[in-house]
Chains A and B, each alone.
Chain A
């Protein structure tokens, strides 16, 4: 499916957060939203998924969702958003229980989602018994269980330590390549964007506008190869120039606020 933002602007009271965002997320692509902290990435993602009403502009969903999709637009959250009183399987089931599925179908969907995220043996564990990486797997499993047509991921790896982040990033990439679900991947981390995205949309600091959209026309699977190293380095260099000054200023702003 295709997700189109038309003239999205948003303000929290007197605080201008987003200004004039026009953006079309193509069917089957992974679009990374890259920008410094506080530039309005989460706000934009909330607007895209209908959790937040924009001050102006609108979001349009084009095309038909596949029949198996129970929840066309589905989120993966930075802080996992797991219910601590439910087990791993229970947290996944939460997304399905109100859909009127037969018990067998529900069990099958839970089991499938857990299997795809290697969580089968932890199905009865409570979130607090799991590491951060495992918790985000549950978040991903829950999102997969509803067969989303559009996946909105808000810094899904930012709460994790570097090593876990790399491991989970590769796992996520494998899952994504298998389904190629239309995805918006919010991050402030350049490496993640370079590894996962088909296109990278760079946002300016607050109020966030689109600064540039960089298309990475190289399949994700081959980005690690030695031949790709030069092009990857060029993109990295270019993107770094785009975000460096913004990041420095934004960082200072944040420091002042605190």
Chain B
């Protein structure tokens, strides 16, 4: 049977198996890839130096609007899918394989999935914010490209068999006619004939009906786990490039200190041919082995003269300090009537909540390998292997840092350890690139533990939140007013959002040390209106009980109409950026603890009192599902009859619509509290999520369970500490939590609570996020449970024994 090919597929052949091998093999250069792909290399500027240009698009950019940028089908029936959302251990490689297999009607093992390589995969920005599922299953991601390809294959098959599409059936990539000769078939490879689709992605392409799913919606085991447990998995920390040297950084001992002199002779004579590199306040060293590099860095650190740094506020004054600084202010909502309505209230309640700087604290210290050849300028090239969340943004930053055009730079994402946000992955990539550019050889940098916690780490924002509500004579909330101070500095890729303007490499620690400008916080005279003139609850500063009214449109989840939520950004001396559930966890700790205080002041059950104000049926649904599963006992807090000494137990609740759109979530925490020692133990957590159709129930549960325990760690244990003056009062301020003894986290041996996960498999809506949902509620749910058990209201994180005992004494409980 001669193949009809009415779509006139034209262009270069898709990637061959060899090409895929080249892509997946870390040591293969782009030139090898181009050769094996059998694609004529289009060079510009000069063929000898044009090796970073892509076979798909010689500019080094990939056109997300083209189906061929996302999928290639070989004449041998091989299927290659290219996508721009990374896997950090949250299971997103497996999820994207499930998606591709489902939409293309093939088994997962037929698909080679290539993720996050500049010039090869689509630019999908950062893999962050719980947005990956929402993106890839939505109208601008992988799913619509797959569905466009699927529709084209059906059209081709329809014309091949000369029957309508409705009479076709497809099994593992092979079409036949329903009721026809089962041996009369045609495969995807035969239809495509090894050519490109040459089609524009159709954003209206219809997804396969979730009720027919065979691979999505199933607890498919993660494809990466066997290699990880066997020990063979190649993390970014294990990338090895021929001729690679090892580098270390030497950071200022105090925040804001500048290099006065560097004695490069400090390393002379040490083994491993160490070489010192200095760019303004940025200092590093390379040597032949990691141990030699470490010894050289130690020797060098003692031979650098630094200027005095900045004096920080005393740790105990931090929260007072925050509220006294000039601030950049913006409303999330402001209906303009809050003061007037508040003045009519029968009663007002107010409280202040405090949240410290916390850190990502990835288990692996961050690591990257960079290979910069040819110095700088138009003929220089860069290859970088990085655990970044965005290969394209790192490429842009590297271009600025190194003065090398982006078209000559390749960035390949290699999985590091769990990142939980903007950890050291991008900074260490810049550090490796500086060293490699200086020595002209590939350089691997892995931070020490102290580097990871102080030298590449951008902390999560410290917060002070002032809450106030007005109640009418019936105990109903008639106005809600909150004001949130957040400490920010640098902010990494968030700089545009925080300061305005484009983010540059100076918004990361290494770039700033090397002399690139850092975004400056410009205080506002009067607060800015809600961003974009819309309700945009990124940060969850608006309580779930408000209408979220902006310009007359209510997009919130509640009924309180008179509302004002003001966010006030304050300059920090500690570097900051986004940490899992950025600002959401701080704001929700405040909002959901305060809601509990209001209910308690009125002697109302915390769940029933919340339900009085909620209008969103999905949020109501998940709250009810979770409290039912937890066998919630309807009564006010605190629990009647609990003594005020010894060990007591209690339960607390919290709920939210994450980010205002990205997952409906509710949690009930149960605790026991030793009121004599102040030790809080979380004994059981019921965590529920309605995030649309469940993509992989076991993977989702894994994420939820991890968030429960990480949330316990954040709520009870974690706090970045600093000295304000430096050792002996000289030098300057510095972070002192620089290892796992000083920065306490949940460890093996700590009590693991019973965890009950409640999944709502809601097939009628589009899939949304999960990765930051449960953790957002953990501090509030735990704090509310502590109040239920003890009558002590905790308003400061972490809920350490000392903080509990201090609050108990102050509240005279």
Are A and B a genuine interacting pair, yes or no? Answer: no
Residues of B within 8 A of A (CB): none
